[in-house]
Structure 1
Amino acid sequence: MSDLSAQESRPARRLPDWLSAMDDVAEEDGYLERLGNKHWAFFAETGTTLVVTFERAEALRAREGQMPAIWPLAQQNGWSVLTILAEGETFWRAPEVWGYFDRLVDDAFFDDFDQVLFYGAGAAGYAAGAYVVAAPGARALLISPRASMTPERAGWDRRNPAARRLDFTSRYGYAPDMTEGAERVWLVHDPHYGPDAAHAALFRRPWTTVLNARHTGENTERFLEIAGSQDALILAAMEGTLTPARFAAFWRARREAVPYLKLMLAKAAAAGRPGHEAMICRSVTRRLKAPRFARRLAALMAGDTAPPADPEA
């Protein structure tokens, strides 16, 4: 597909064990390339549809199978995968990374695919928004993305203090501007969570559709995953069929997802809100067979507002 051959891109030295699974896949039709000291590019060609993701190496190492999080969904749908891994909190801001995307542009790499989707959440959402400019006409699904972390643009965001020293002004720097060439951008966030809402406001462009996942705080991607909506969102974005109405239907499905409901109940208990706990339990027990919620509601009605010693009880 591109001039980046496996021989040119795969390091000659022995790879760390955590990279072996990806290297095995890359040997078939793709490559695994080191980008400086803190980044890797993994590419596997399995179809004419490409999903581009950004992921922390620490998360991949902790995952069974040590493959990118998108890999199972991509395999199910016959998608090619390009994942850029980062060691630590880099926000993918390194000359080696933007140089790599420059090379992809020079090689017309993205032209070989019928459809391209960039996906990321949080810092990875920043990277997906920033680098989508390398593939004009691509789509992007951004979950709670950062627009920038430079103090001049986002000094109000006190998270990720180390990122404030990174260079967000060079190539591919300001993510909202970098989305201009995209066919469509979807941005999912909690509008009630101040920092993410402020970043989302910076992305407001005619080609961007903002979708609200209320009460998820800064863990929107985790809530989508627990609610069983994450894969459906990615599929709809890849197909170009993600509308506010369709997102609302996906998001309503969380009301039937027991892991999500347990998490909401635990958050209410941790916040010391027994009235909210009771409301959740009543709603769940009216719709589902949920012994745990029925027991908790009975305890609350008896005046026992202390959180259960066993969170699964």
Structure 2
Amino acid sequence: MPDAAISFEHALGDMTRQEWMSEVTDLIGARGSLTPLGSKHCASFVEDGTTLLVTFETHQGIQTLSNQAHPLGWNMVKSVGWSHLGVISDGDTWFRDPAVYAFFDHLVDDGFFDEFDKVLFYGAGPCGYAAAAFSVTAPGAKVLAIQPQATLDPQVAAWDRRFAHMRRVSFNDRYGYAPDMLDAASEAWIIFDPSETEDAMHAALFTNPRVTKLPMRNMGQILQTSLLQMDLLHGLIVATGQGDLTPIRFARLMRARRDHLPYLRRLLAKLDQQGRHRLLHALCRNVADRLNAPRFVKRLQLLSEAEEG
């Protein structure tokens, strides 16, 4: 384990991408490296333990989701002593860049992944796509992908109109079709909301027997943010890396939704739309009794008055 320490308390927010990369290079020092990968990507490596977490993130996401604008994997270096390789893009690129392909080719040729006892690939959305796609470079790795796209090839996913600007980008060449790239993984976990049509359709394309799908119904379009808000993402990543994640354990963790107001509001709106008044009343009563939730208190009063009238 390297002796040099990283100052995990040093904030990197409100910086341009180039300023951020320069600061990260200085912080990492002898513990690792930062490698530019063309004009849109870079890779940050911090060496620590014999478990390697490979994350795919965007510069914008790092600035938004971390109070200190640190890559997600630095939490793992700090808290559980894992090594971390972060591949970072400027915007949502799905990492479809020959410079990124060449970087992973180089890692394979150097036997980089063979130096670690365990390897875990992680990402969400376009970064979840990349986590699945590039996991093929580390046979035996585990994958945790939140709301991943399987491909944006219009011949396969023309029904997904959310990313029309990516239609001209090739998803048919190297590291292209994410479900196929999971053939070498030891296991892969796909987290998605079945009520989000496009996310559910992409999840359905991950038919590999190594894949286990973990539904988060009625959680919406920003599952990674919700998991962070519920303080669950760190535990999920650790459990996956240690081989301890199971559908039952995931379901128990998801009981935290009972205290997550964004989820409860979505559930309220859905029951309201369906006209399920008895369940609406029970939901509002339960939430009003447990949480500081004025919306539910007011709705409970209105429902009670309607019943009495």
Using the size of structure 1 for normalisation, the TM-score is 0.84
1:54 alignment partner AA: F
Give matches, 1:229-240, under 5 Å: 229-240=232-243
Query: What is the CA distance between 1:73 and its match in structure 2?
Result: 3.5
Partners of 1:300 and 1:24 in 2: CA distance: 59
| % identical equivalent positions | 41
Deviations 1:126-157 (CA, angstroms, capped at 9, x unpaired): 00000000000100001111000010111111
Q: Distance in 1 between matches of 2:218 and 2:168?
A: 31
Q: CA deviation at 1:264?
A: 2.8
> Hey, what does 1:176 align to over in structure 2?
179
> Where does residue 188 of structure 1 map in the other structure?
191
Q: Hey, what's the Cα distance between the residues in 2 that align with 1:73 and 1:235?
A: 8
* d(CA) in 1 for partners of 2:233, 2:298: 29
Distance 2:262 2:133 in 1: 35
What secondary structure, in the 3-state scheme, does the structure 2 residue paired with 1:142 have?
Answer: strand
Q: Deviations over 1:81-140 (max 9, x none)?
A: 111111122110000001100000000000111111001111111000000000001000
Q: Which moved more, 1:294-303 or 1:242-251?
A: 294-303
Q: 1:289 to 1:196 in 2, by over 3 A?
A: closer
Structure 2 gap segments, 5+ residues each: 2-16
1:161-199: CA deviation from partner (whole Å, max 9, x where unpaired): 112221111111110000100011011111222111111
In 2, distance between residues paired with 1:83 and 1:29? 14
Q: Kindly indicate whether the alpha-carbon contact (under 8 Å) linking 1:25 and 1:44 is maintained by their aligned counterparts in 2.
A: no
Structure 1 residues 267 and 19 mapped into 2: Cα distance closer, same or farther (>3 Å)?
farther
Residue matched to 2:62: 60
- 8 Å Cα contact 1:19-1:66 kept in structure 2: no
Match of 1:135 in 2: 138
2:201 equivalent to 1:198: yes
Q: SS of 1:148's equivalent? A: coil
The residue number in structure 2 matching 1:121 is: 124
Instruction: Supply the distance in 2 between the matched residues of 1:298 and 1:197 (Cα, whole angstroms).
Output: 33
Return the offset for 1:37. 0.7
Relative to structure 1, the CA distance from residue 73 to residue 271 in structure 2 (aligned partners, 3 Å threshold; closer, same or farther) is: farther
From the superposition, tell whether residues 262 and 190 of structure 1 become closer, same or farther in structure 2 (CA, over 3 Å): closer
Aligned to 1:12: none
Q: Deviations over 1:42-93 (max 9, x none)?
A: 1111111111111111122344322112322331010111111111221100
Shift of 1:272: 6.9
Q: Is 1:211 aligned to 2:219, yes or no?
A: no
RMSD: 2.6
Alignment of 1:93-108 (within 5 A): 93-108=96-111
Counterpart in the other structure of 1:4: none
CA apart distance, 1:300: 3.1
Q: Which sits farther off after the overlay, 68-77 or 208-217? A: 68-77
Task: Give the match for residue 155 of structure 2.
Answer: 152
Distance 1:153 1:270, change over 3 A: closer
- Decide which of 27, 30, 34 is 2:29's aligned counterpart: 27
SS of corresponding position for 1:84: strand
Opposite residue 49 of structure 2, the aligned amino acid is G
Is the CA contact 1:105–1:134 (under 8 Å) kept in the aligned structure 2? yes
- Output the TM-score relative to the length of structure 2: 0.85
Matched, 1:72 2:79: no
- In the alignment, the residues of structure 1 paired with residue 55 and residue 211 of structure 2 have an alpha-carbon distance, to the nearest angstrom, of 19
Amino acid at match of 1:116: V
CA contact (8 A) 2:219 2:266 kept: no
Matched, 1:46 2:48: yes
Q: Which moved more, 1:243-252 or 1:22-31?
A: 22-31
User: Kindly tell me: are residues 56 and 278 of structure 1, through their superposed partners in 2, closer, same or farther at Cα, counting changes over 3 Å?
Assistant: farther
Q: Could you tell me how far apart the structure 2 residues matched to 1:301 and 1:146 are?
A: 41
Distance 1:245 1:67, change over 3 A: same
Q: 1:302: Cα distance to partner?
A: 6.9
